Structure formats: C-alpha cells, structure tokens
Amino acid sequence: MSVNFFWKAFELYPFLNALFIGLSLASIWFIAAIGLAIIYGTMGVVNMAHGEFIMVGAYTTYVLQSLLGINFFICLPLVFIIVGLFGWGVERTIIRSLYKRPLDTLLATWGISLVLVQAVRLIFGTSPLYVSVPNWLNFQIDFSFLHLSGLRLLIIIIAMGLFFATWFLINRTSWGMRIRAVMQDKEMASCFGINTDHVYGLTFAYGAGLAGAAGGLFGALKTLFPDMGSGYIVEAFLVVVVGGIGLLGTVFSATALGELNSVFSYFTNDTFARFVLFTLVVVFLRFRPQGILTDGLKRR
C-alpha cells in the first residue's frame, strides 16, 4: 500500500466538513460520558454497567414506540425517568453496601452489565432492532462544505442542553450544593445534616437516567444489539479520564477527542484514527494523569 493511498491529500472544504462532523461525534461521546462523570465524580464508583444502561435506554425507547406508539421526543424524558429509577434501585440494593470496597464495586457493576446483556438477549433475541424518528428529522444539511444529518444536528443541540441543565443543577440548586459538599468532604457534610446516602442514590439515578436518554438517541442513530453498550463505554471512559472527571473537563475532552478522531479519519481511516487516538490518550495521561481540568465536579 502506497503512502499516498493511505494518507489522503488535504482539501480545504472536505477537511472543514470533517471538523464539523467531529462536533457531532464529540456530542455523542459527551452524552455517553456525562452520566459516568457525575457518578464517579460524586461517589467514586467506576460504573462498568454504564454502557449497558445506555443499551437499556435504547431498548426501552424501542418498547415504548413499538408497544405503546409513543412519539420519539416523548420517549426521551420517559426513558430518562425509567432508567433513572432502575439505576436508583441498583444503587439501593447493590452499590450501597460496597462504597468502601472499590474493587468489589467494580466487579459488581461488571456483573450487572453481564446480567443486563443476557437478559436483553433472552427477551429480544439477537436480531437487530430499530428506533424510528419523526420524518421531519430525515433531512440533510448541505450548505457549502457542511454536510450533516438532521439527527446528528439534534444530538448536538441536546448535548448542549444537557450540559447547561447539568451545570445549573450542580451550581444553582440546593441538590447541587449538597452534591458539591459531599464531594468535598462526605463526613463533614454529614455533620451539617446532609443525608449522604440520599445524595448518592439521587446522583446515581441521575447518571443512569442520562445514560438511558443517551441510549434513546443512539438507538435512533444505529441499530440495536444486546451488546451495543460496549461500543460506547470505552469512549465514555476515555472522555471522563482525559477531562479530569469535571463537567467542563468532560466537554473539553469530548470535543478534543471527537475532533482528533474525525481529523485522523479524514486523512487515513477509522481504524487507524482510533489507534492514533488511543495512543495519544496514553501519552497524555503519562504526563498529566489528573486530566485537563482537576477542579469542578471531582471527588476529593
């Protein structure tokens, strides 16, 4: 294989369009990672089942559409609530007793992910399923060098909305004040009358709900398979670790990683782009293991 065949020649407009597509990819990674960042930043729990929460959200959206005929946009908040309640139940029954045993928490959430995959496989089978979107979203933006589908544009808008909504909850509400207090010092927060167990339960439920809503969006973007969550969990962890666990850091890292992946995909191919991206992440963490931003939404 020649170098010219492997390395695509630079052209301005296709390159700018690749950058624009990178924003779409960054939005997908951000939505997949934000719930994970909140759960780990607040509770110190590495949720290995986060990808499966995304998968459960996608299949829940499919069930709401196929059995109840609910509109796609109404499905998203419903899925947020349903998966959030499921996550709250998981935290209350399993995670709650393992906070001081991080390795056991890691193994427990990994076990939950296996159970969820097998349960969905037994209920729905292995055939691909699809989440339908309104017909008016089936359009393509073609403006000069920009080419983007309506669904990806919707994902970008929703990602921005989730960021501002989460930032408001964390920084402008009493619940967010309690979360920040627990992150800073759990014992001191308890001394001031904050119910840390209640905060942990609601935080895990919120993170799981975000994963469920992400699954509803991703189910409309790609086909549904029982193991589809594994396709998002790696990127979600990368975004959280590189971003430094904070909310702003998650935004910056998702944008940077999405753009880098898009740029290298433009010049080479998707497989080589992921290889380069993962290599750069390893090198970055070697010199800055705390991530891009170390303050903000981070457990101390």
Residue 295 — pLDDT band, cuts 50, 70, 90? low
pLDDT, mean of residues 238-264? 85
Residue 4 — pLDDT band, cuts 50, 70, 90? low
188-238 residue pLDDT tens: 888 878 888 888 889 999 999 999 999 998 888 888 999 988 878 888 888
16-44 residue pLDDT tens: 777 877 888 888 889 888 888 888 877 77
Q: Are 236 and 51 in contact (CB under 8 A)?
A: yes
Could you write out the DSSP letters of every residue in 157-207? HHHHHHHHHHHHHHHHSHHHHHHHHHHH-HHHHHHTT--HHHHHHHHHHHH
70-88 residue pLDDT tens: 999 999 999 999 999 999 9
Residue 42 C-alpha from the chain's centroid:
16
Tell me the average pLDDT of the chain. Answer: 84
For the chain, give every domain's residue range: 30-132+146-227
Q: Is the pLDDT of residue 5 over 60?
A: no
113-137 residue pLDDT tens: 999 999 999 999 988 898 988 888 7
58-71 residue pLDDT tens: 999 999 998 888 99
Which of 154, 203, 149, 184 minimizes the C-alpha distance to 40?
A: 203
Q: Are 129 and 216 in contact (CB under 8 A)?
A: no
Q: Which of 107-116, 183-192, 258-267 has the lowest mean pLDDT?
A: 183-192
Residue 10 — pLDDT band, cuts 50, 70, 90? low
pLDDT, residue 1, reads 46
Q: Which of 14-18, 61-65, 237-241, 249-253 has the lowest mean pLDDT?
A: 14-18
140-170 residue pLDDT tens: 777 766 677 788 888 889 989 999 999 999 8
Token output for 284: 């970055």
User: CB-based contacts of 36: which residues, under 8 Å, 6+ apart?
Assistant: 47, 50, 207, 211, 236, 237, 240
Token output for 67: 């059995």
User: CB-based contacts of 3: which residues, under 8 Å, 6+ apart?
Assistant: none
Q: Which residues of 213-245 are buried (b: 16+ CB within 10 A; e: fewer)?
A: bbbbbbbbbeebbbebbeebbebbbbbbbbbbb
The CA distance from 115 to 160, in Å, is 32
pLDDT, residue 2, reads 46
pTM passes above 0.85: yes
